[in-house]
Amino acid sequence: MKIILKYIIALLLLCHSSLWARDWRVNTLPKPPDGNLWAVSNPDSLLSAEEVAKLNTLLSDIEQNTSSKITVAVVMSINDEVPKVFANQLFDYWGMGREDNTMLILFVRDLQRMEFEVGARLRYVLPEDLCVQIQQEKMMPAIRKKEYGQGLIKGVEKMSDIVNENKDLLLDTDQELSFAYVKRHGFIRLRSKALEIYIGLTVLTLLAYIVVLFRAMITHDFYKKYQTLKFFSMYVWWVLFPVPFVGLFFFTKYLMKKWRDAPRNSPTTGKPMHKLTEEEEDVYLQAGQIAEESVKAVDYDVWVSGEPNDIMILSYKTRFSRYTKCPNCGFRTYYEVYDNVVESATYAGTGKAERKQVCMQCKYEHVVTYTIPSKARHGGQKTTIKKAIKRSMRPDSESNNQPS
Ligand SMILES: [Zn+2]
C-alpha cells in the first residue's frame, strides 16, 4: 500500500512538474541566468550544457563587439499560445523593447516553431525576412535532425557575422539608418532583390510613359501624337508590368484612336478635312498601297478638304506583319514563301537550305541557297554556332527572277 501511495505521489509530482515545467507562460518563463539579456534561457534543458556555453559565448561576444543583445529562449511548450504573440509579449515583458539593439529568438519545440522579435535599430541589420532566411538555410538542417543546439549555434554564428559587419551602424546611434547602408555579409536576398529590380523597372517604364505621353500631348499634329504614343500600345508593357499598364494600355489605345480620328485642317490650305471611308479612299491610293492594306501590312487613312489636290494620305504600319518592304517596288508586300532544308547537316558535314521570298505586288522573286553548319558535338558552343549561322547566311548562290 505504501509503495502504491509513493508511486502515485511520484507520478503526480512528475505530471505536475512536467506540466509546470513544460507549459510556459510569458510571466513564468525564467530569464537567462544572471539576468543577462544576451544569453540562453533553457528551462527545459533541451540544449546540452556545452551547447548553452557555446551559445552564451557567441551572444556575449556579439554584445561586447556591437552592443547588440540577442537572447535565445528554448522551450518545450507554450500551452495554447500563438508563438508570434508569445514572442512579442515576452520581448516586452523582459524589457527588451526598451532598447534598440535587442533581439529575441524563441524556439518552441512541440510546435517546431521559431520566432524572431527584433528591436527597432537592430531590425535594419537583421530584418525579419533575413532572420527567416538564416533560419531556413542555417538552422533548419540541424533542427530537422532534432539537433536544436547545433541549429541555433549555426544561426547565431551567421547573425554574429552580419551584426559584426554592420557594427559601425549599430554603435553610431546618431547615424540615420537605412536598409541601403546595411551589408549582408554575402547573404543575397535574392527574392526581394529581384522584386526591388522589378519595381525599379516598373517605375522607370512608367516614367518613360509619362515623358512620352507628355511629348505626345504637346505635339499639335495628330498624326505625330499618334506615332509618338504608339510605342506604348504594345502588349508587352502590360504583360511585363500589369500594374500599372493594364489600365494605361486602354487609356493609350483610347488616346490613339481619338487622335487618329480627330478632325484636322489641311497643312497646305488650312481648310478643315474629313476622313474618307475604306471604300472611298481607294481612289486616292496606289495599287501597291491597296495591296499593303489587303494583306494588313499597312493601313491608310485618306483625308480630303474638298479643294482639288488637297489630299493627305497617312500610313499606319502593322507592328508585327509577315510582310516586309519589297526590295523591288518598295511596298510592304514582300514575304517568305518557304525556308526549307534541302540537305540536312550531319556531325561530319554541312547541309544546304533554300529560302524563297516573293512580292505580292510586283511578283518579284528571290531564291537563296545557304549552308547549314555541321552539327556541334559539345555543349557550350553557342557562340561558334551563332557565328557559323551568320557565315552561312551569306548567300553563296542566288537567283533573282525579275518579272519582265
Ligand atoms: Zn514588290
Which tens digit of pLDDT belongs to each residue from 280-289? 999 999 999 9
Mean pLDDT of the 320-341 span: 94
Residue 241 confidence (pLDDT) above 50: yes
Output the CA 403–ligand 1 centroid distance in Å. 10
Give CA–CA dist 384/381, Å, rounded: 5
Pure H helices in 23-94: 49-66, 83-93
Contact 285, 276 (CB under 8 A): no
Mean pLDDT of the chain: 84
Output the CA 300–ligand 1 centroid distance in Å. 18
Output the CA 304–ligand 1 centroid distance in Å. 28
Least confident span in 18-22, 131-135, 341-345:
18-22
How many CB atoms are closer than 10 A to CB 84?
13
- The helix (H) or strand (E) run that includes residue 397 is strand 397-401
Output the CA 326–ligand 1 centroid distance in Å. 5
**According to the model, what pLDDT value does residue 17 have?**
45
**According to the model, what pLDDT value does residue 257 have?**
95
**According to the model, what pLDDT value does residue 36 have?**
75
Output the CA 358–ligand 1 centroid distance in Å. 8
Closest Cα to residue 402, out of 328, 326, 324?
328
Rg over CA atoms, the chain: 37
List Cβ neighbours of 208 (8 Å cut-off, separation of 6 or more): none
Output the CA 320–ligand 1 centroid distance in Å. 19
Closest Cα to residue 336, out of 354, 348, 352, 351?
354
**According to the model, what pLDDT value does residue 173 have?**
64
Closest Cα to residue 58, out of 168, 137, 152?
152
396 SS3 class: coil
Output the CA 77–ligand 1 centroid distance in Å. 83
Output the CA 312–ligand 1 centroid distance in Å. 24
**According to the model, what pLDDT value does residue 380 have?**
47
Q: Categorize the per-residue pLDDT at 175 as very low, low, confident or very high, splitting at 50, 70 and 90.
A: low
Residue 156 confidence (pLDDT) above 60: yes
Output the CA 338–ligand 1 centroid distance in Å. 17
Q: Which residue has the higher pLDDT, 170 or 268?
A: 268
Mean pLDDT of the 234-245 span: 87
* Burial of 170 per CB tally in 10 Å (0-12, 13-18, 19+): buried
pLDDT digits (tens, 9 = 90+) for 25-84: 988 888 888 777 789 999 999 999 999 999 999 999 999 998 899 999 999 999 888 999
Whether residue 244 is preceded by a cis peptide bond, meaning omega within 30 degrees of 0, is yes
How many CB atoms are closer than 10 A to CB 220?
7
Output the CA 334–ligand 1 centroid distance in Å. 6
**According to the model, what pLDDT value does residue 386 have?**
54
Output the CA 293–ligand 1 centroid distance in Å. 14
**According to the model, what pLDDT value does residue 244 have?**
86
Output the CA 332–ligand 1 centroid distance in Å. 8
Q: Whole-prediction pTM value?
A: 0.49
